[in-house]
Amino acid sequence: MTSDIAIRPFGRADVAAFRALRLEALISHPDAFGSAAADEALLPDEAVAARMAGGDTFGAFDREQLVGMAGFMVHAGRKRRHKGMLWGVYVRPAWRGRGLAAALVDRVLAHAAGRVELVQLSVVVGNKSARRLYESRGFTAYGTETHSLKLPDGYVDELLMVRFLT
Domains parsed from the chain with CATH numbers: 5-164 (3.40.630.30)
Write the CB contacts of 7 (distance below 8 Å, at least 6 apart in sequence): 58, 59, 60, 61, 103, 104, 107
Task: Tell me the C-alpha distance between 81 and 65, whole Å.
Answer: 34
Among residues 76, 75, 69, the alpha carbon closest in space to that of 18 is found at 69
What does the pLDDT average to over 134-147?
A: 97
Q: What is the pLDDT of residues 23-54, one digit of tens each?
A: 999 999 998 999 999 998 999 888 888 888 77
pTM of structure: 0.93
Among residues 97, 79, 83, the alpha carbon closest in space to that of 133 is found at 97
